[in-house]
Amino acid sequence: MAPPQRSQNATSRRRSGPASHRQKEPQGLPTGVQWITVEPDMAGQRLDNFLMARLRGIPRSKIYRIVRKGEVRVNKGRVRPDTRLEAGDQVRIPPVVKPERPTSSIPGDRVQAVMEHAVVFENDDLLVVNKPSGIAVHGGSGLSFGLIEVLRAARPDARFLELVHRLDRDTSGLVMVAKKRSTLRFLQDELRRRDVHKHYHALVSGHWPASVTEVAEPLLRYEMANGERRVRVDVEGKPSLTRYRVLDTWPGYSLVEASPVTGRTHQIRVHCAFAGHPIAGDDKYMDAASQRVFRRQGGNRLMLHARALEFRLPGGEQWLRLGAPYDEAFEQVLAGLAR
């Protein structure tokens, strides 16, 4: 596994959009309806990500709500949050009231220092962070800030910082952050072509059979009565595939490498639970009795870690492989099982 690499080269951000829509990041949100023309360098971007970049500070749940209600339109038609935008599309964005944020919501120096210390690779195009468990990748849904907001606060001179992909809040490990829009588009295209290889380590309940090397079950997202989003195996869901390899076993638990071929929400967690081996510490897909046993053994986090990434760097054929060590809580659980 390659050692962490770092450099500190400056970058610049490409401005996009016609003059009538070209503007600096707003201090407040527009009070009227916006009509924005999708420029070529924005083509292929998901609608929800497009809106998140223009409605800073608005909870993601509210953005999804205005899309579902039809208040956001593309070429005057209703759309889904995962709609891919094309060059020339006309996007209608309704006026949205930004909630008041207390001053304590600004990431403090200590949090900024922790996140900067977690950077394992950086060049002119991107940086890769070993995200701690318990920190969301972005704010919203009751969270004042996440990884991307902390990085922007720590780097006030950065003209462009955007998430290439996401991790669940309680999952630790490698996350890519683009420093240029061209890099964002390149890496997201690579993800769609499945040319970015992700390898997770998961501590699962029970003895994972070495003969089970993959789980290929369709996954469907649904909403619970309290508004929480969950995922289940369902014939009407999207095709999903996760490959597995057993790394170690102890009484009652197995450490496996999980390599998702597709990139569905909660994919590894749901596939592990479907196989009869839920991930230890998973408060969504592990039964309550198993959770209590895990906590009595000292477990206090979801035992899922984005361990390694393999991908091509923009502008060439050079492949990069990066690895991220476990955090102390993850290590302590494994050490306890080994004893």
Active site amino acids? 168
Interhelix angle 47-54/60-68, nearest 10 degrees: 120
CA proximity to 16, closest of 57, 45, 48: 45
Neighbours of 132 (CB within 10 A): 15
Interhelix angle 109-117/147-154, nearest 10 degrees: 100
The values of phi and psi at residue 114, to 5°, are -60, -45
Tokens representing 165 are 């992909």
Neighbours of 312 (CB within 10 A): 15
Tokens representing 56 are 């800073």
The CB-side HSE value for 307 (13 A sphere, CA atoms) comes to 18
- Helix, strand and coil content of the chain, in percent to the nearest 5, comes to 25, 25, 50
CA proximity to 184, closest of 167, 162, 166: 162
Tokens representing 63 are 């953005």
| DSSP string covering 26-55 | PSS--SS-EEEEPPGGGTT-BHHHHHHHHS
Neighbours of 335 (CB within 10 A): 10
4 with 120: CB under 8 angstroms? Answer: yes
